[in-house]
Amino acid sequence: MKTTEIVLLALGSVLFLFSIIMMVLLFKKDKPFIKIIWFLVLSFLMMGFSVIKEADVAGIFKYKKEQELSQLMVLSNALQECPDNEVIKKELQQKLKTYEEHDHSVEKPEDLEKIGKAYLLLGDEDKLISYSDKILSEDTTNLTAKTLKKAAVTQNMIKTLPDQINKRRTALKVKQNIETLKKEPTVDPKQIIRLENMYKTAIKKIADTVPHGN
């Protein structure tokens, strides 16, 4: 809860108590207390500000979660097309950070996929693994979380492949994981292509470090 919300909650509570006391006093003196009702309404609005601002009341307030996810998807797609664009990358990082701060619960598989795609494109496999584990701790059957975790693990294996001692075994595991991901209907084909290209680059890097005979 933000500072503004805490202050409004405190002030709203004080105003509510004040309104109740005034209503009781006016009632005992047999005086009209209709005007006090407006203070009660105001106190409710102040105390419920944090809820109201997130709600969609008669189309006046938009649900921030949907907005954030939509913006995440747009930036992710842009970064996927231009992976070296630092401006897009920073915007996506900031948008993802903002989303994390709101601590939204992800219920729909498509929402989880959007978050996962952003993490993968930013190369933040550890956060995606942690995020997936959090989902799986609440729902062990969540296939989307399992798939995203496998994608994150695979991407991390590719990135560390040149430094692995047993490169052959790691490379084989990467290929197996990619083939498994290809069979998952929820995986974006572009993500598979990206992993395959990363794998080819890693293999080439390894080959370039192997000394060649004259």
Comparing C-alpha atoms, which of 210, 206, 188 is closest to residue 198?
A: 206
Cβ–Cβ contacts within 10 Å for residue 20, how many?
14
Mean pLDDT for the stretch of residues 77-86: 90
Summarize pLDDT for 184-198 with one digit per residue, the tens. Answer: 888 889 889 999 999
* End residue of a domain, out of 52, 74, 92: 52
Judge whether residue 61 has pLDDT over 60.
no
Q: Which of 2-16, 51-65, 141-155, 199-213 has the lowest mean pLDDT?
A: 51-65
* End residue of a domain, out of 52, 73, 90: 52
**The residue type at 72:** L
Rounded CA gap, 196 and 12, in Å? 57
Q: Are residues 87 and 37 in the same domain?
A: no
Residue 192 structural domain:
64-209
Summarize pLDDT for 104-125 with one digit per residue, the tens. Answer: 566 677 888 888 899 999 999 9
At residue 49, the pLDDT reads: 64
Comparing C-alpha atoms, which of 187, 204, 206 is closest to residue 120?
A: 187
**195 exposure class (CB count in 10 Å sphere: 0-12, 13-18, 19+):** buried
Question: Considering the domain boundaries, does residue 59 fall inside one?
Answer: no
**Higher-confidence position of 98 and 88:** 88
When divided into structural domains, the chain yields a total of: 2
Rounded CA gap, 141 and 144, in Å? 9
At residue 214, the pLDDT reads: 46
Question: Considering the domain boundaries, does residue 176 fall inside one?
Answer: yes
**153 exposure class (CB count in 10 Å sphere: 0-12, 13-18, 19+):** middle
